[in-house]
Amino acid sequence: MDLHELIQTLKTDGGKIVMLVSDGIGGLPMTPGGPTELEAAKTPNLDALAKKGTLGMSIPILPGITPGSGPGHLGLFGYDPLKYPIGRGVLEASGIAFPVGPNDVCIRCNFCTIGPDGKITDRRAGRIPTEESAEVVKTLRAVKIPGVEVFVEPVKEHRFVVVFRGEGLGGNVADTDPQKVGFEPLDPVAKDDASKKTAEVAKEFFRQAKEILASQPKANCLTMRGFATKPTLPSYKELYGLNAAAIAVYPMYKGLASLVGMELVGQPKSLAEEIEVLKENWDKYDFFFVHFKYTDSRGEDGDFDAKVKMIEELDAVVPAIEALGPAALVVTGDHSTPAKMASHSFHPVPTMIVSDLARPDACAAFSETEANKGGLGHFQAIYLMPLAMAHAGRLEKYGA
Amino acid sequence: MDLHELIQTLKTDGGKIVMLVSDGIGGLPMTPGGPTELEAAKTPNLDALAKKGTLGMSIPILPGITPGSGPGHLGLFGYDPLKYPIGRGVLEASGIAFPVGPNDVCIRCNFCTIGPDGKITDRRAGRIPTEESAEVVKTLRAVKIPGVEVFVEPVKEHRFVVVFRGEGLGGNVADTDPQKVGFEPLDPVAKDDASKKTAEVAKEFFRQAKEILASQPKANCLTMRGFATKPTLPSYKELYGLNAAAIAVYPMYKGLASLVGMELVGQPKSLAEEIEVLKENWDKYDFFFVHFKYTDSRGEDGDFDAKVKMIEELDAVVPAIEALGPAALVVTGDHSTPAKMASHSFHPVPTMIVSDLARPDACAAFSETEANKGGLGHFQAIYLMPLAMAHAGRLEKYGA
């Protein structure tokens, strides 16, 4: 029996769970002997929770492996990121909250510029501004392919998403981007039999699109990358028996949450608004994924002090969440983003569960150093959901 | 996707890695309340590294399992010892640095003494001295078997290695040692179809060898054990993209390193010479496995104080390694060898990684007690290589 089969066997009704995900929260000292971002931040509310709850270190994928946002969140949601890879196309489509369906192939496309000889002169079409690009994207909606529904959606600058919807469309097609200028875009080549139809459809899309784009000054051609179908994930309802709500500002995280069947609630624009949405929907759901983006953003910027401020902003909303009285409150991140590295990193993520059933440990604050010695130990992120369920009284005994 | 596939997907160029393996370094107190060997030793240099780096406990195979040197090292090198068992014959051949090839079957042989009735009277031929034995071993090189190349190499006392090289030689043949006196050596019996030819070859080898040995006073017969072929391991270059060098005094560890494609550099006779070899080869490789044997040897002797001295000897070379500026310096052992037990043990192994990317923990010294609360947690040894790669900036992000 695997973990998912076990959980489905044991799941039962219980209390509400809040999973507060502070993206990229784990950090590093900027200088030897210094504090991490979390240690430098004044977090009286998180520290008070740490004294009550159980801490530990979440390993997003496996020791030493740095996750992207997709795998990082899948792990937190309890789905092995190595078993359920999310292709670039699907991630890009999720990123604009496109509702990816089971018969969809998603493709991340770039506008490019070609010369009179058909060869690429600029792989990003001069990074044309988003608004200009969006207009060109709309002209591509004129492409018609028999038996296949075609969606074309703008993303940012030269990037857009194409989705083919239809029967028998595999996702295993090679990129058409030659990766350097001076070459024509490649043909889309199927890498397995199930993807032959997709390759034909992509070829026809490219033919029609090129005609439509011919008169454009910069965006007169396109390349296609990351062909991907939606992974077949059991939903939160099927797997955990949870009516789950996702509260996020950024489309990417809404997209990821919708892949596992969470309902997207509200249209919050800030953390304060996210908490309002949480309150408004408190009675309607069993599980709330609340995503806070800016700890990651400031980490990616390499701005230690700004990340510290974001952590303090997060700390400030904790009492409002606590006041709702969740049976289990989980505070974690999908990965670490140390300002020192200005990127996602492989380091484990300080994590805590606060619940009447949490066994207190010796941790006196919410920090990397304290979490190292916490009662949850070092654990793979895929076990966080079972732990949260257990702390909310939602898992029955296995065996007699 | 399994761990090896993942690593191969993510590997990239980065800094140099030194893995300093102090064989059997983990220990136990001799009396309740006393220190372990590592805690009793004065290790100012290792302790200084511990303050900078991240500590943890490496579990060589699985909790509770005591490894031999072969599985212990395979685990450190990142190969699951349960997936890649190394047969005794191959381990013995590796132990004398015999270059085992893909068409080789290695057999660990013992001289024995038989009486006029052909029954064994001494299973070890009176433990004949190594030099005497080596001469007898050479006489066996007269054995000729059509279509098969035969190698016969001395080991120590009554032990020697036989290697058959040829096509279609499986390694699954039963031992011929009856395990007690008063019986004739058994026939080599194939345990699967692929090993039938090997059994025939072994029978013929035995027939000819017995004739050659007939006039020997003690070593007048032989038994064969641990028939084994080389496990098919992806090389360090294939798996990690690393040009790896092995620096070791003992043949066994050179043999193990060569099984995973490390190059054996230098002919060091002491730890000081090993460090010289490391310096001389610093520019030529990405990865250095440096093996220190004597912590294990003195542990096996049950000599606590002597093991403490060996740890102090190890400590003394640390600054010379640090001075080379590895991106990641790993200090670990393949298993514990507590003097109290005078043997390998199942206890996890204190381990540290020192790197600019190491997240500091509260560990103030390199010891079992400190490593228990370290930032690497308790982890299976097969994750040490991914962790070392990550700390040397050699693994890209998984997914977007």
Residues 6+ apart with CB under 8 A from B11: B239, B240, B241, B389, B394, B395, B396
pLDDT at A367: 98
Cβ separation of B400 and A69 shorter than 8 Å? yes
CATH code of domain A3-85+233-391 = 3.40.720.10
Rounded Cα gap, residues B171 and B182, in angstroms: 28
Type and span of the H or E element at B307: helix B304-323
- Cβ–Cβ below 8 Å for A67 and B396: no
* A38 contacts A367 by C-beta, under 8 angstroms: yes
Select from A377, A388, A274 the least CA-distant residue to A331: A388
Tokens for B335? 């298993």
| Of the candidates B356, B330, B10, B61, the residue with the CA atom closest to the CA atom of residue A347 | B356
Model pLDDT, residue A94: 84
Contact yes or no for B398 and A65 at CB 8 A: yes
Interface test with A, best of B239, B378, B379, B398 (most A CBs within 10 A): B398
Both tokens assigned to A237: 């309802």
**Length of chain A as a residue count:** 400
Which residues in chain A have their CB less than 8 angstroms from residue B9's CB? none
Taking the CA of residue B72 and the nearest CA in chain A, the distance in Å comes to: 19
User: Contact, A336 vs A23, CB < 8 A?
Assistant: no
Residues of chain B neighbouring A71 (CB-CB closer than 8 A): 398-399
Average pLDDT over residues B173-183: 95
Residues in a beta bridge with A159: A110, A156
Q: What one-character-per-residue DSSP string does A261-327 give?
A: TPEE-----SHHHHHHHHHHTTTT-SEEEEEE-HHHHHHHTT-HHHHHHHHHHHHHHHHHHHHT--S
Contact at CB, B400 and A28, closer than 8 angstroms: no
> Would you call A66 an interface residue with chain B, using a CB distance cutoff of 8 Å?
yes
List the single residue in A with minimal CA-CA distance to B386: A64
Predicted local confidence at residue B249, as pLDDT: 92
Tokens read off for A100: 């990816």
Cα–Cα–Cα angle for B150, B156, B159, rounded to 5 degrees: 55
How many contacts does A have with B, using Cβ atoms within 8 A?
95
Is the Cα dihedral B324, B326, B332, B333 positive or negative?
negative
Q: Which residues of B touch A55 (CB under 8 A)?
A: none
The yes-or-no verdict on residue B322 having pLDDT over 90 is yes
Distances, alpha carbon B370 to alpha carbons A148, A377, B50, B54, B56, in Å: 62, 15, 9, 10, 8
Residue A7: what pLDDT? 98
Determine what percent of chain B is predicted with pLDDT higher than 70.
Answer: 100
A234 in contact with B, Cβ within 8 Å: no
CA A128 – CA A218 distance, rounded (Å) = 8
- A57/B contact by beta carbon, under 8 A: yes
Give the H/E segment covering residue A331.
Answer: strand A328-332
The fold for domain B90-229 equals Alpha-Beta Plaits (3.30.70)
Please tell me which residue of chain B has the smallest CA distance to A28.
Answer: B359
Distance CA A37, CA A294 (A): 13
Per CB-CB distance under 8 Å, the chain B contacts of A91 are 399-400
Q: Select the residue of A88, A345, A373 nearest B400 (Cβ to Cβ).
A: A88
Residue of A nearest to B387 (CA): A64
User: Considering chain B, what is the average pLDDT of its residues?
Assistant: 96
CA separation (Å) from B134 to B27, B157, B293? Answer: 36, 8, 25
**DSSP state string for A123-163:** TTGGG--HHHHHHHHHHGGG--BTTBEEEEEEEETTEEEEE
Region B329-353: mean pLDDT is: 98
B53 shares contact with chain A (CB less than 8 Å)? no
CB atoms within 10 A of CB B156: 13
Question: Measured between CB atoms, which of A344, A372, A373 is closest to B397?
Answer: A344
B25-75 residue pLDDT tens: 999 999 999 999 999 999 999 999 999 999 999 999 999 999 999 999 999
Amino acid at A376: L
A178, amino acid identity: P
Q: Among B52, B362, B379, whose Cβ lies nearest the Cβ of A63?
A: B379
Residue A63 has φ and ψ, to the nearest 5°, of -55, 130
Alpha-carbon torsion (B353, B355, B356, B362), positive or negative: positive
* Spans in chain A with pLDDT lower than 50: none
Question: CB B395 to CB A64 under 8 A?
Answer: yes
A109 bridge partner residues: A160, A224
From B374, B387, B390, residue closest to A372, measured CB to CB: B374
CA-based max dimension of chain A = 75
How far is Cα B170 from Cα B175, in angstroms, rounded to an integer?
14
- Residues in CB range of B276: below 8 A, 6 or more apart: B266, B268
* Cβ burial A152-181 (10 Å sphere, 16+ → b, else e): bbbbebbbbbbbbbbeebbbbbbbbbbeee
| Cα–Cα distance measured from residue B4 to residue B241, given in angstroms and rounded to the nearest whole number | 12
Rounded to 5°, angle at Cα B19 from B18 and B23: 145
Query: Would an 8 Å CB–CB cutoff place A173 in contact with chain B?
Result: no
Looking at this predicted complex, what is its ipTM?
0.89
Hey, are the CB atoms on A63 and B383 less than 8 Å from each other?
Answer: yes
Q: Say whether residue A81 is in contact with chain B using an 8 A CB cutoff.
A: yes
Distance of alpha carbon A65 from alpha carbon A336, whole angstroms: 11
A211 CA to centre of own chain? 35
CB contact under 8 A, B399 and A65: no
The interface residues of chain A toward chain B in range 136-155, judged by CB-CB distance below 8 A, are none
- What is the pLDDT averaged over residues B348-353? 98
Question: Is residue B400 over pLDDT 90?
Answer: no
Helix (H) or strand (E) holding A351, with range, is strand A349-354
Q: Read off the pLDDT band of B255 (50, 70, 90).
A: confident
CB pair distance less than 8 Å for A62 and B379 = no
Nearest to A112 by CA among A98, A133, A130, A126: A126
Taking CB atoms and an 8 Å limit, are A64 and B388 in contact across chains? yes
Nearest CA to A332 among A42, A58, A31? Answer: A58
Instruction: Tell me the pLDDT tens digit for each residue of A257-310.
Output: 989 999 999 999 999 999 999 999 999 999 999 999 999 999 999 999 999 999
Beta carbons of B229 and B211 less than 8 angstroms apart? no
Whether the CB of B370 is below 8 Å from some CB of chain A: the reply is no
B114 pLDDT higher than 90: yes
**SS3 track for B325-353:** CCCEEEEECCCECCCCCCCCECCCEEEEE
Which chain B residues are closer than 8 Å to A63 by Cβ?
376, 379, 383, 386-387, 390
Q: Say whether pTM exceeds 0.80.
A: yes
- Measured between CB atoms, does B48 come within 8 Å of chain A? no
Distance from CA of A366 to the nearest CA of B (A): 14
What CA–CA distance (Å, rounded) separates B110 from B182? 16
How far apart are alpha carbons A204 and A200 in whole angstroms? 6
Asked if A68 reaches chain B (Cβ–Cβ under 8 Å), the answer is yes
Burial tier of A131 (Cβ tally within 10 Å: 0-12, 13-18, 19+):
exposed
Percent of chain B having pLDDT more than 90? Answer: 93
Domain extents in chain A: 3-85+233-391, 90-229
Nearest to B399 among A67, A345, A347 (CB): A67
Within 8 A of B383 by CB-CB distance, chain A residues are: 62-64
Cβ of B395 within 8 Å of Cβ of A68? The answer is no
**Which B residues 299-358 touch A at CB under 8 Å?**
357
Residue B197: which H helix or E strand, with range?
A: helix B196-213
Q: How far is CA A304 from CA A58, A131, A299, A331, A371, in A?
A: 22, 33, 7, 20, 20
Q: How far is CA B105 from CA B71, B136, B175, in A?
A: 19, 22, 13
Instruction: Place B88 in a pLDDT band, splitting at 50, 70 and 90.
Output: confident
H-helix or E-strand spanning residue A370: helix A368-371
Neighbours of B83 (CB within 10 A): 12
